[in-house]
Amino acid sequence: MNKKDSPKIYKAIEIFAGVAIVLSLVPLIAIDYWWIRVFDFPHIQLTILTFVAFVLFFIQFKWNCWQDYVVATALAVCLIFQYTKIHAYLPYASEDAAATSENYQGEILKIYTANVLQKNKKPQQLLNYIDTTKADILLFMETDSEWKKQIRNTLPSQYSYQVEVPLDNTYGLLLYSKIPLQDTRVHYMVDDSIPSVDTKLKLPDGTLVQLYVLHPTPPMPQHNPSSSDRDAEMMKYANLSRENELPVVVIGDFNDVPWSATTSLFRTVGELLDVRRGRGFYNTFNAKNLLMRWPLDHVFVSSEFRVKRFTTGADINSDHFPTYTELSFEPQLRKEQQPKKPTENELKRAKEQAEGVRKVELDY
């Protein structure tokens, strides 16, 4: 290395280290503006960035310079912070929802979800894939009337139970089931243009399972400048889940990552298990950008369920990859994977986020 260039390189590394530190601290700001909350998403990328900054900083680390010790310590703390956010979603971490028992002989509940990208003009990739999933439940998001027509023309006849809320605002929902649905309601928890679905599945043995379907608005300037509506909808469903006496399954595109404060609080307050934890990231968005991907599409379950399979589906020409989940229903083993109870402070936070937003519901 040319000695003359060393100060320039050191300065560049210093700036790089400073950027890594600042980006690590931004998500800690307790403000729900989109330009703050968006930094909750790329913790995988920020972990890698901080690690690279930490390694590079030692290329020109000055052992007799106290400022370098401060920067190195700050980078180490940020790296640990970043890693702890994503650790639970690595394959060697402990599973939240355990694997299906080896001797399980019961029915497997199969769920396929796909955010189709409303403006997707090549629907055939998805349509060709529908029948091959053999799923019991099909959920399609960002679906308008044209998508409804295309899917209805392709849908196998076994999907005789349907909840269709096509909209042209990218929040349309289409839910199809081979399993009987009961007491179906379409809710507009935070906005009369953002639907969610509340229904019950009647399993072959007669057991009723509560199914919630969510697709809240993201904290982005073109959608909503703050995360308050998204957070309110999620907390309302967290409270409903905790209070429900039935086994619960929650699916949908949350427009949030599982390690964020909001989704973590949703999981805890709802007393739910995240099927992704301990299995992998299974990034679903952005399917069109290899470097900027994170998991936005989720499946949460109550302790009666175990996981036989969870994976992302094939490319459907959307900006999301689909998810495919297989669940076993093993209520006799629920005590082996009881979620932790929310604290009074967590319940208070969830209540504060949920209250003040009107609720409208329609019987379907």
Whether residues 132 and 17 share a domain: the answer is no
The predicted pLDDT at position 220 comes to 66
CATH code of the domain in which 286 resides = 3.60.10.10
pTM, 2 dp: 0.91
Same domain, 184 and 150: yes
C-alpha 321/C-alpha 310 separation (Å) is 13
Q: Which domain holds residue 255?
A: 108-363
Tell me which residue has tokens 């905790």. Answer: 242
Nearest to 135 by CA among 115, 117, 161, 109: 109
pLDDT at 68: 87
Residues 146 and 264 in one domain: yes
Residue 227: CB atoms within 10 A of its CB come to 28
Does residue 60 lie within any of the structural domains? yes
- Using the 3D structure, point to which of 89, 122, 152 is the last residue of a domain: 89
Question: According to the model, what pLDDT value does residue 141 have?
Answer: 98
Based on the domain organization, do 65 and 124 belong to the same domain? no
Say yes or no: 227 and 171 in one domain. Answer: yes
Given this model, what pLDDT does residue 216 score?
95
Residue at a domain's end among 89, 120, 151: 89
Question: How far is 32 from 216, CA to CA, in rounded Å?
Answer: 15
Domain match, 82 and 126 both: no
Confidence (pLDDT) at 359: 59
- Same domain flag for 62 and 114: no
Q: Are residues 256 and 119 in the same domain?
A: yes
What is the predicted pLDDT for the residue at 25? 81
Cα angle 235, 339, 38 (rounded to 5 degrees) comes to: 40
Final residue belonging to a domain, choices 35, 55, 89: 89
**Residues 235 and 157 reside in one and the same domain:** yes
- In-domain check, residue 146: yes
101 found inside a domain: no
Burial group, residue 125, by CB count within 10 angstroms (0-12, 13-18, 19+) = middle
pLDDT at residue 211 in the model: 98
Q: Which stretches within the chain are classed as H helix? A: 6-25, 34-37, 43-57, 66-86, 124-133, 145-154, 228-243, 261-269, 344-354
* 240 lies in the same domain as 306: yes
pLDDT of residue 278: 97
pLDDT reported for residue 21: 87
Block means of pLDDT (10 residues each) for the chain, 364 residues, are 60 85 79 68 91 88 86 93 94 96 95 98 92 94 98 95 97 98 96 96 96 90 73 96 98 96 96 98 96 96 98 96 98 96 96 73 61
Burial of 249 (0-12, 13-18, 19+ CB in 10 A): buried
Domain count, the chain: 2
